[in-house]
Each structure stands twice: as C-alpha cells, then as structure tokens.
Amino acid sequence: MESVLVSACLRGVPCRFDGRAKDSPAMAGALGDRRPVAFCPEVSAGLSTPRRPAEIVGGDGHDVLDGRARVVDDTGHDVTAEFVDGAERALAAARRAGCTEALLMARSPSCGHGAVYDGTFTGTLRAGDGVTAALLERHGIAVRPAPSA
C-alpha cells in the first residue's frame, strides 16, 4: 500500500501551536486507499505543545534552508534550528515510509505550501512554502496543501 506523509494535526493529533488538532473531514477522500504517515515536524524537533506562535521572517522556507530567513516566535525568540531539525526529521520519516507525496497543513511555517504568514503576526500571508514543505520538495516529494479543515 502506498504511503503519504500527513501533518499530524490533520489526523487528530493535538500538536498545533495552540495545543489543538485541525481535523479535516475531507482528508479521507484526499488519502484514498493510501496509508497516512502522521508527522509533526515541530513536536519531533522538541518544541512543546502548546507553544508560542511562530512565523518566517525575511522570506519563506526555502530562504530559511538557504540561511536568508529565520523562524521566530511572537516574542522574537529564534526557533529556526528547531524548524530545520523538524523538517529533516519529516524528510527521514517520509523516506522510511516510502512516501512520494505529502498532504500538509496550510499556512504553517513548517508545513505551509504556496502561502505562509509573513512574519508580522498580523495574519498577513505571503507567497511561499514552510520549512518542511520546502525541504520535502527539494528531495522530490510532491507537497500538496491538505483539504480545508
């Protein structure tokens, strides 16, 4: 059976920054007959649940991976290392499970694909990907935003 990496919060795991899950009723249809591999990059890197909200400052996940941007929480604390570590752990999990696709949480600084919050903590979006989404794409794993939760 084919496997697909899925943001753990979308599988009912209460691991979001606010300590909640983000169940998506449409997820079953998006998965089809594939086996979901639930994974939270942020928790895997040792960040707590709940935790301070974080956003990418100075670009998107590709810029973070290239050292041109950073991830900070709403108090200004730099959590870039944790986000990069979590992305690497997600890639390793995807490879172990043989995933060629990932369905990830929209707008997240880890999992966002196509749009992420802009680093101002005002709810403003910018075009781009989260750190995990960027790393997965760089390694040939197709990233798709999960169906709306």
Enumerate the domain spans of the chain: 3-145
pLDDT tens, 72-125? 999 999 999 999 999 999 999 999 999 999 999 999 999 999 999 999 999 999
Report phi then psi at 47, rounded to 5.
-75, 145
Strands 3-7 and 35-39: parallel
pLDDT of residue 28: 79
CB 116 within 8 A of CB 134: no
